[in-house]
Structure 1
Amino acid sequence: MKYKKNLILVLTLLILFTGSTLIKAASYPIKITDDLGRQVLIKDKPHRIISLAPSYTETLFTLGSEKELVGVTKYADYPQAAIKIQKVGTIKEPNLEKIIQLKPDLVLAAEITPERIINRLDQLGIKVIGLGPQNINEIIETIEIIGRATGQWQEANDLTTDMKNRVTRVQKLIKKHLEKEQRPKVFYELWNNPLYTAGPDTFIDNLIYLAGGINIAQNALGKWPQYNTEVLLAQNPDVYFIANRDEDINKKKQEIESRDNFKNIAAIKNNKIYFFNPDIVHRAGPRIVIALEKMAKAIHPKKSLK
């Protein structure tokens, strides 16, 4: 009996160890279908990676691929170590010459990376993976793709499993809460003068829905529309979200309340104004689940999300 127990224990440990090793050890070559619909064949583990979006830079650091990261965009500032890495232009205007000079064997391109940049890198034989997640599930899939491409299978699996579990947990709590109450109307202010917001087919719109709210701009024209103040007042949101990085919160609240007719908005009258670090909400990376949890807590403050 004792022998059988020991044998079972050894076999269990062997299976666990082997399974973990299989996930962690990347097998090359691998073929990846990117968000541009392209088949990208990666023959070997990349050793010189360039990230053309701050969110992918953050993901690479989280997965442990920072040593292979040789180039990032101007505003890649998280984690702090990313600031020291060679800059290759902005997310909208990458510097092709600098990219080529760094001799990358893998470039992670953003949704707004100019097509001419991608085409030229393709011509030079540099592997480019185009990524453009539109919702939280696609953000998780993007992290999995980056993990596969860089050989960080185990790390990506651990990270995305945790993210999926946290999303599921929020969803269960919100579903239970919405059995008794309706979804509050939410407005997300990207910019004030002029007023801009997040429209349909954006992961901010997706976050608001998953957090148990309704984005009043969900039917607006365009992903990042300029929003009419009169329409905002007529929609009368219950919750008001604001992208705010450095401004004093109390001063910002006073400024909002002083806007014409804003005191008549339900969210303003009921002090349902919440500020979000745009680096967490606007970047399609690992911290997006933090944004979801914070939004859910703001929209449904009486529901425990601890």
Structure 2
Amino acid sequence: MKKKLLGSLIGLMAIGLLVTGCGSDKSGAKQAESTKPQEEFITIKDQQQEEVKIKKDLTSVVVFDMGSLDTMDELGEGSKVVGVPTQNLPNYLKSYDKTESVGGIKEPDLEKINQLQPDLIIISGRQEDFKEQLSRIAPTIYLGVDSTRVFQSTSENIQTIGKIFGKEQQAKKEISQLETAIQQVKQQAEKSNRRTLMTLVNEGKLSAFGEGSRFAIVHDTFGFKQADDKIEASTHGQSVSYEYVLDQNPDVIFVVDRTKAIGGDDSHNHVAENELVKQTVAGKENRVISLQPDVWYLSGGGLQSTKLMLDDVKKGLE
């Protein structure tokens, strides 16, 4: 009887110890869970006025917008770029050509992007139709340039990228320096009063661009006077002839060679050599200026690209 009682007591003590041990494990797990750092998020508003919640300390970004890529690079955040459309990189961003390719600039490779599992995807106009699909993979923001308020939207995008990476002060400083440089060129352009025609040539076909259009930065931001203030504002420009160019007789002609930017036959794109163009003031005074095609056609809206554009248009003031 005593043996049975002793055995029962020992059994109860063992159960008690087991229960106590389990309770300690649960308490420890709860304590470990409570001390585990929680991810922090920030909310940003993109150029389509959509609010997007993203990780505060993100480490991987897929970038389709070249202006955003060059701004990230300028702010020292290029190491966080894990994917770009490598076949469409402008020359000044060729250091990213070893980065993972995420498709074409107009056709994102959704499968590859999904494999990369980025913290953020940055797009602009050429990828707009894919925004919903991309948003299912990762937070996606639209940072395209608004052609009706070019520099304002550019500044907003730079500040947005600064906010994302905790570089707000650096971004503001860079914008301030850029504003000063732009103001200097704008004053010179307005003082010169040179009538300017902004054009794009593609396999011999010519288009003209004015205020509110794709290359509005020339007039709206840099202050060059339009040779024709009736040019239709559109993304692809107004189709014009070389007779039109002679009739407008501009003092300066800026040329973006689309064929050179994307590859192809550019043998018919030598605008300065056209006999009608040679008869214009711009032709006679050697002010038919070839702009850097990859910067103007593939990029824009970033810290580096805006500086490069500014350097380009200065040639029209010489």
For 1:237 and 1:223, the matched residues in 2 are separated by 22
Structure 1 residue ranges without an equivalent (≥5):
1-26, 302-306
Specify the alignment match of 2:317 in structure 1.
Answer: 300
Take 2:49 and 2:79, find their aligned partners in 1: how far apart are those partners? 29
Distance in 2, matches of 1:217 and 1:79, equals 34
Moved more, 70-79 or 200-209: 200-209
> 1:293 deviation in Å?
4.2
Give how far 1:199 is off: 4.1
Q: Which residue of 1 aligns with 2:32?
A: none
Judging changes above 3 Å, is the alpha-carbon distance between structure 1 residues 87 and 199 closer, same or farther for their aligned structure 2 residues? farther
Task: Classify 1:137/1:241 alpha carbon distance in 2 versus 1 (closer, same or farther; 3 Å).
Answer: same
Residue among 152, 158, 163 paired with 2:173: 158
1:273 to 280, 288, 291: 288
Aligned partners of 2:210, 2:236: CA distance in 1, in Å?
5
One-letter amino acid of the counterpart of residue 270, structure 1: E
Secondary structure of 2:239's aligned partner: coil
Match of 2:114 among 100, 125, 130: 100
The question of whether the paired residues in 1 share the 8 Å contact of 2:46 and 2:143 is answered with yes
Specify which of 82, 85, 95 is matched with residue 99 of structure 2.
Answer: 85
Q: Compute the displacement of 1:260 (Å).
A: 4.8
* Structure 2 SS opposite 1:32: strand
Counterpart for residue 54 of structure 1: 66
- 1:186 alignment partner, one of 190, 193, 197: 197
Instruction: Name the counterpart of 1:14.
Output: none
| Aligned counterpart for 2:248 among listed residues 224, 232, 235 | 235
Tell me the equivalent position of 1:207.
Answer: 218
Cα deviation for residue 262 of structure 1 reads: 2.8
With 184-193 and 227-236 compared, the bigger mean Cα shift is at: 184-193
After superposition, the Cα gap between the structure-2 partners of 1:173 and 1:129, relative to the gap in structure 1 and judged at 3 Å, is same
SS at structure 2 position matched to 1:195: strand
Pair 1:38-2:53 in alignment: no
Cα separation, partners in 2 of 1:212 and 1:200, compared to 1, 3 Å:
closer
1:286 has 2:272 as partner: no
Q: In structure 1, what is the Cα distance between the partners aligned to 2:203 and 2:216?
A: 18
Per the TM alignment, residue 83 of structure 1 is displaced from its structure 2 partner at its CA by 0.8
Q: Mark the CA change 1:157 to 1:63 in structure 2 (over 3 Å): closer, same or farther.
A: same
Give secondary structure in 2 for the equivalent of 1:167: helix
Taking the aligned partners of 1:188 and 1:118, their CA distance within structure 2 comes to 30
SS in structure 2 opposite 1:84?
coil
What are the residue-to-residue correspondences of 1:83-162 with 2, within 5 Å? Answer: 83-115=97-129, 117-124=130-137, 126-133=138-145, 134=147, 135-162=150-177
Q: 1:223 to 1:214 in 2, by over 3 A?
A: farther
Name structure 2 gaps, 5 residues minimum: 1-38
2:72–2:78 contact (8 Å) kept in structure 1: yes
Q: Distance in 2 between matches of 1:47 and 1:254?
A: 43
Instruction: State the secondary structure of the residue aligned to 1:224.
Output: coil
Residue by residue, what CA displacement relative to the aligned partner does 1:81-133 show, whole Å, maximum 9, x if unpaired? Answer: 21110111122111111111110110001122142x21123234x11111111
Q: State the partner residue of 1:11.
A: none
- Matched to 1:40, the amino acid is V
C-alpha displacement at 1:243, in angstroms? 2.5
Q: Could you tell which deviates more after superposition, 261-270 or 64-73?
A: 261-270
CA contact 1:216–1:235 (8 Å) conserved in 2: yes
Q: Secondary structure at 2:186's aligned position in 1?
A: helix
Find the residue that maps to 2:97 and give its secondary structure. Answer: helix
Deviation at 1:172, TM superposition (A): 4.0
Count of aligned pairs: 264
Cα gap change, 1:298 to 1:46, in 2 (>3 Å): same
Contact 2:125–2:144 (Cα < 8 Å) also in 1: yes
Partners of 1:276 and 1:32 lie apart in 2 by 34
Structure-1 residue corresponding to 2:279: 264
Q: Equivalent residue of 1:156, what SS?
A: helix
CA distance in 1, matches of 2:285, 2:186: 25
Describe the SS at the equivalent of 2:180. helix
* TM-score, structure 2 normalization: 0.73
2:201 & 2:273 partners in 1: Cα distance? 18
Inter-CA distance 293–88: structure 2 relative to 1 (3 Å threshold): same
Identity %: 24
Structure 1 residues 113 and 182: alpha-carbon distance in aligned structure 2, compared to 1, 3 A threshold: same
- 1:36 Cα offset (Å): 1.5
